[in-house]
Amino acid sequence: MKNVKVKRRLRSFLIWTLWVLLVQFVLINISAALYAHKLTHLQDPTPEILTNKPVSRNIFSKTWRLFAGPVFYRQPLKDTPGFSFTSLQWKTESKKNINAWYAKPESEAKGTVILFHGLTSNKGQVLDEAAAFRAWGYNVLLTDTRSHGNSTGDVTTIGYKESEEVKLAYDHIHSTGEKKIILWGASMGAVAVMKAITDYQLQPTGIIIEMPFLSLQSHLKGRARSLGFPSQPFGFFTTFWIGVENGFNGFGFKTARYAKNIHCPVLEQYGEKDEAVLKNEVETVFEAIPSADKKLVLYENAVHESFLRKDPVTWKKEVETFLEKLK
């Protein structure tokens, strides 16, 4: 009789444990799905955000924010070039308008550099880099990816579908007869550049990639670290839901796989204090590149930021040396 009672209690305990695990599994998936939606659907900044005014939240709203994830805002386009430029526009296959700025140098151009910004950023955030390339005698083309800056669209795929914007910009410059095309990208922009070379067999003269993340899942792990969350299972489930919500395999979104198709000269750069992208990520991407002409430059005191603004002497030396080697 005693054994029967013990077995019943054990069975009851196991059933309750399974129910608890099931509920936790469901809640984790709901939370990940909500976070995935918010991260890929950037919002226009509110007046409180623009003025850094604290938003009052009670305990219920704070709890919901922790469960559903924060709202992600696209940065407003505040700056315009201090040099003469022309606005250009293309359409993606899904009819999104892609906006860009094109400018020529004061002297005869040595080639064209096409620049791509990071997540939540815009072409105005890479004006310093564009001005440097222009000062070295290059045409520059600064592109807003979908749902950023002046481009239309409600969804960003963090570099996956943004490879189409790279192709559109590249094709436009190539159609002008330009033979020397250099692609520059930071973070999401760097990944989009590498994916576009694989997706569309682009043949740039060279590429400059700064702080590329290793995969969608590693990018999400980095975001979890910044929020104080465990990187797993957050990274796994959010990767799954971003893919489901946007029609692609999130686990197949791997930068090292795209790197294997890059045979042109490459300059890769990374800030050693970057907590969003880890050093082993950029090293793995670098090692996967089969190009015989490649270099990895590390910025000892830089985080996930503009290396030109952080360390202009090193950035200008490395980038100018890279450009001078291109034929």
Tens digits of residue pLDDT in 159-202: 999 999 999 999 999 999 999 999 999 999 999 999 999 999 99
Q: Which residue has the higher pLDDT, 151 or 79?
A: 151
What are the domain boundaries of the chain? 2-68, 86-214+254-325
Q: Which CATH code is given to the segment(s) 86-214+254-325? A: 3.40.50.1820
Coil, strand or helix: which one is 240? Answer: helix
Rounded mean pLDDT, 140-146: 97
pLDDT surpassing 60 at residue 204? yes
Return phi, psi of residue 279, to 5°: -60, -40
Side chain identity at 284, as an amino acid letter? T
- Stretch (H or E) spanning 208: strand 206-210
* pLDDT value, residue 137: 96
DSSP letter for each residue of 87-126: EEEEE-TT--EEEEEEE--SS----EEEEE--TT--GGGG
Tell which wins on pLDDT, 19 or 284: 284
Reply yes or no on whether the pLDDT at 1 is more than 90.
Answer: no
User: Is residue 270's pLDDT more than 60?
Assistant: yes
Res. 39 pLDDT band, cuts 50 70 90 = confident
SS3 category, 73: strand
Residue 63 has pLDDT above 90, yes or no: no
SS3 label, residue 270: strand
- Average pLDDT score, the chain: 88
Distance CA 250, CA 252 (A): 5
Q: Which DSSP symbol is given to 77? A: -
How many whole angstroms separate alpha carbon 209 and alpha carbon 119? 14
- Phi (first) and psi of residue 11, to 5 degrees: -65, -45
- Residue 237 CA to residue 285 CA, distance in Å, equals 23
**pLDDT tier at 62, thresholds 50, 70, 90:** very low
Residues 6+ apart with CB under 8 A from 156: 40, 42, 119, 145, 146, 147, 148, 162
Kindly tell me if the per-residue pLDDT of 107 is higher than 60.
yes
List, in order, residues 6 or more apart from 122 with CB less than 8 Å away: 74, 75, 77, 144, 148, 149, 150
More confident residue, 213 or 33: 213
pLDDT in tens, 115-132: 999 999 999 999 999 999
Would you state the torsion angle of the CA atoms of residues 48, 189, 272, 235, taken in this order, to the nearest 10 degrees? Answer: 70
The more confidently predicted of residues 56 and 300 is 300
pLDDT-based confidence at residue 7 (cuts at 50, 70, 90): low
Whole-number pLDDT of residue 35: 86
Q: What is the pLDDT of residue 235?
A: 85
- The burial of 84, by beta-carbon neighbours within 10 Å (0-12 exposed, 13-18 middle, 19 or more buried), is given as exposed
What lies within 8 Å, CB to CB, of 109 at 6+ separation is 137, 138, 139
The reported pLDDT for the residue numbered 66 is: 53
**134 pLDDT higher than 80:** yes
Does position 25 have pLDDT exceeding 90, yes or no? Answer: no
Q: Which residues of 6-19 are buried (b: 16+ CB within 10 A; e: fewer)?
A: eeeeeeeeeeeeee
Residue 2 pLDDT level (bands cut at 50, 70, 90): low
pLDDT class of 223 with cuts at 50, 70, 90: confident
Distance of CA 108 to the CA centre of its chain: 33
